[in-house]
Amino acid sequence: MESVILVLGEQENQEGAQGLVISNTELKQVVYAFKCNQSTLQVKGKINSITIDSCKKMGLVFDDVVGIVEVINCKDVKVQVMGKIPTISINKTDGCHVYLSKDSLSCEIVSAKSSEMNILVPNKDGEFTELPVPEQFKTVWDGQKLVTTATEIAG
């Protein structure tokens, strides 16, 4: 199946495409990238949302998103926030690196059925600190309710 990027009805097939840029964006627009492999996409300006679905070895760089960025069914993707984002959702994905900007440090990261997730936060010197997202949890009954906590993988 071919890969597709949809922006307001425009379609482009992308396989091994580096340097894809979507500019002249508007707040009501959304980006949906499907089955893009070994490609890089940059979204300039402020838009509503971005979804990357079933992509492999994909890079996404964007300025500002007012809604959500969703990463679904992907393998080995890198997402870089240059401006602000309130929520990033990672589902059914193996290998996801999210580079946050100083302005996006308060964003919520929601994940399910995913592995090898790392969030990179900027330091004062411009370098990034890499932090793993927990993949393993422990749930216990405390006498009144279930309590779930993240656990460190022993090894």
- Cα diameter, the chain: 56
Asked if residue 89 has pLDDT above 50, the reply is yes
**Of 3-7, 43-47, 108-112, 117-121, minimum mean pLDDT range:** 3-7
- What is the architecture, at CATH level 2, of domain 4-150? 3 Solenoid (2.160)
Asked if residue 135 has pLDDT above 80, the reply is yes
Per the model's pLDDT, the better-predicted residue between 31 and 2 turns out to be: 31
Using the Cα atoms of residue 54, residue 93, residue 62 and residue 80 in order, give the sign of their dihedral.
negative
Asked if residue 11 has pLDDT above 60, the reply is no
pLDDT band at 151 (very low <50, low <70, confident <90, very high): confident
Asked whether 131 and 120 are in contact (CB, 8 A), the reply is yes
The amino acid sitting at 86 is P
Q: Which two tokens stand for residue 105?
A: 């440090």
Looking at residue 12, its pLDDT comes to 46
The residues spanned by each domain of the chain are 4-150
Mean pLDDT computed over 126-136: 93
Mean pLDDT computed over 125-153: 91
Q: How far apart are CA 31 and CA 126, in angstroms?
A: 29
Q: Which two tokens stand for residue 131?
A: 């932090």
